[in-house]
Amino acid sequence: MQKVADYWVSLGMEVRTNTEHDPVVFGAGGPVQSISFSTGPSVYDVSGTSLCVPGDANDWR
């Protein structure tokens, strides 16, 4: 968890962690609007929202 948090900080993001239950790292700013990384027994999840850019999303596919 700390490696993820440290990396996101190096990208200019504001980071907070919550280890109350399954560990979660939350980030915002920098190259993304928001992102989270969570982990538990035999599972992990990365979820995020990107910043808007001009253009048509279908052109990127």
Which DSSP string do the residues of 43-57 spell out, in sequence order? EEEEEEEPPP-SS-G
Q: Summarize pLDDT for 10-23 with one digit per residue, the tens.
A: 999 999 999 998 89
pLDDT digits (tens, 9 = 90+) for 23-53: 999 999 998 999 999 998 899 999 999 888 7
Instruction: Tell me the pTM.
Output: 0.78
CB 24 within 8 A of CB 48: no
| C-alpha to C-alpha distances, 59 to 54, 55, 56, nearest whole angstrom | 11, 8, 6
Contact of 20 with 38, CB cutoff 8 Å? no
